[in-house]
């Protein structure tokens, strides 16, 4: 039996209201292939010495400049569709949090830029798909918070 090893990654969704009360989500513009120039969730590979959540916090800081505490993140789910990443088999654990404000964000590491986007705009057909399967991850995170009584669609 030929078995390929999977890479392990993590993705982070941060939601916060803007001055009008509309919900926004923090995205990065990818600087490298695959999906260079497309918007995506902050995230990346888990280092050998890290937990998924520690990697999520590190990647968030590297790609957006936003510092965050591990205990503030809720697990959204595990994403393991075999073709979710064109580079090969990648399994990701996604985490999310709702903030009371939008911390300043700036692109770093392999992100061209980081920006707070209106959730309604990102979810619209006009915005276009996010990189990888991040549209599904975003939808799942919104459902998770809806169950907790937080509506992020406005």
pLDDT over 60 at 81, yes or no: yes
Contact 116, 102 (CB under 8 A): yes
The domain spans of the chain are 7-147
pLDDT over 70 at 142, yes or no: yes
Tens-place pLDDT, residues 119-135: 999 998 788 899 999 99
Residue 5, classed as helix, strand or coil, is coil
Would you list the DSSP string of 49-116? T--HHHHHHHHHHHHH-----GGGPEEEEEE--TTSSTTS-EEEEEEEEE-SS-------TTEEEEEE
Tens-place pLDDT, residues 16-43: 999 999 999 999 999 999 999 999 999 9
| Spatial distance between the Cα atoms of 91 and 36, rounded to a whole number of angstroms | 20
pLDDT over 50 at 1, yes or no: no
Would the pTM of this model clear 0.85, i.e. be above it?
Answer: yes
Which CATH architecture best describes the domain 7-147?
Answer: Alpha-Beta Complex (3.90)
């Amino acid at each position: 039996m030929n078995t390929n090893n999977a890479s392990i990654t993590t993705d982070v969704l941060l939601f916060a209201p803007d001055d009008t009360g509309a919900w926004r989500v923090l995205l990065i513009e990818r600087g490298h292939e695959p999906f260079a120039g497309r918007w995506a969730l902050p995230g990346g590979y888990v280092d050998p010495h890290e937990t998924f959540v520690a990697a999520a916090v590190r990647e968030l800081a590297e790609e957006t400049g936003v510092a965050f505490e591990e205990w503030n993140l809720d697990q959204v789910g595990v994403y393991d569709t075999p073709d979710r990443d064109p580079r090969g088999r990648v399994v990701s654990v996604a985490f999310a949090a709702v903030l009371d404000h939008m911390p300043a964000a700036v692109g770093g590491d392999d992100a061209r830029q980081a920006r707070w986007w209106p959730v309604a705009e990102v979810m619209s057909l006009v915005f276009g798909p996010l990189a990888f399967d991040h549209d599904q991850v975003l939808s799942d995170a919104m459902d998770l918070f809806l169950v907790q009584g937080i509506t992020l669609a406005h």
